[in-house]
Amino acid sequence: MLKLSNIYKTFNQGTIDEKVLFSDFNLTVEDGEFVGVIGSNGSGKTTMLNIISGDMPVDSGSVMLGNEELNHVKNYKRSRKIGRVFQDPSMGTCPSMTIWENMSIADNKGRTYGLSFGLNRQRKDFYCSQLELLGMGLENRLNTPAGSLSGGQRQALALIMATMIRPELLLLDEHTAALDPKSSDTVMMLTERIIREKNITTLMVTHNLRHAVEHGTRTIMMHEGSAIMDVSGKEKENMTINDYLKVFNEISIECGN
């Protein structure tokens, strides 16, 4: 279970540009939930992911994952339990290394490195079986540099790498936003399948309302550091894109847009 309690976060504190984003923000995500997070720019979506991953400190409050408080845990140590896929397909893989080499690095996540071969040939069949899930033929291209893949292929590879050693929590930061519509839908279907089959607790930030409607078990809408909508179960199943747009429009009117 992920639990954010009494989170406070202010940017440019003490200056003319001071901005209070989170003020006593609370969020609980149960094990196995797939939560889509939507909202306008500046609503706190990516900042929340950065706080969870340890890339950004909080002013006060608590970040708990399972029974462990993460406030003083460095981001590289959190990454042993938290997987993350970014918006930019190039951020999840090393372009000059082959698919095989990239997967070998992901396979050693959280382990100490000693004097051993960089490529574990005994795991080759496992890597191929993981790549077969993508349906892109990458299992036949293990020696291909990741940098030569298309954006959709690299993002799919990054998704496999982030979940190959099952994380306690998966963070998806607009991971389909940089892709063309067809690749975006393909990666989103793969995402749903992998999360469901591996039962991974997931937070997915997205601007694609259709993805928020069609995927996940719960949807949260953020606005100015608060969760102004939180739907799950039958309520979420009955939600349409127009239902979300109605709330967006109301927010815009309140903000004077």
Give, rounded to a whole angstrom, the gap between the first and last alpha carbons of the chain: 38
Average pLDDT rounded to a whole number, residues 160-181? 94
- Strand pairing class (202-205; 169-173): parallel
To which residue do tokens 């990516």 refer?
46
- pTM, to two decimals: 0.91
Residue 107 CA to residue 234 CA, distance in Å, equals 38
**C-alpha distances out from residue 58 to 20, 23, 89, 231, Å:** 12, 11, 28, 26
| Residue 257 pLDDT class (50, 70, 90 cuts) | very low
pLDDT grade for 118, boundaries at 50, 70 and 90: low
Partners of 218 in the β-ladder: 35, 232
DSSP string, 187-235: HHHHHHHHHHHHT--EEEE-S-HHHHHHS-SEEEEEETTEEEEEEEHHH
pLDDT at 109: 74
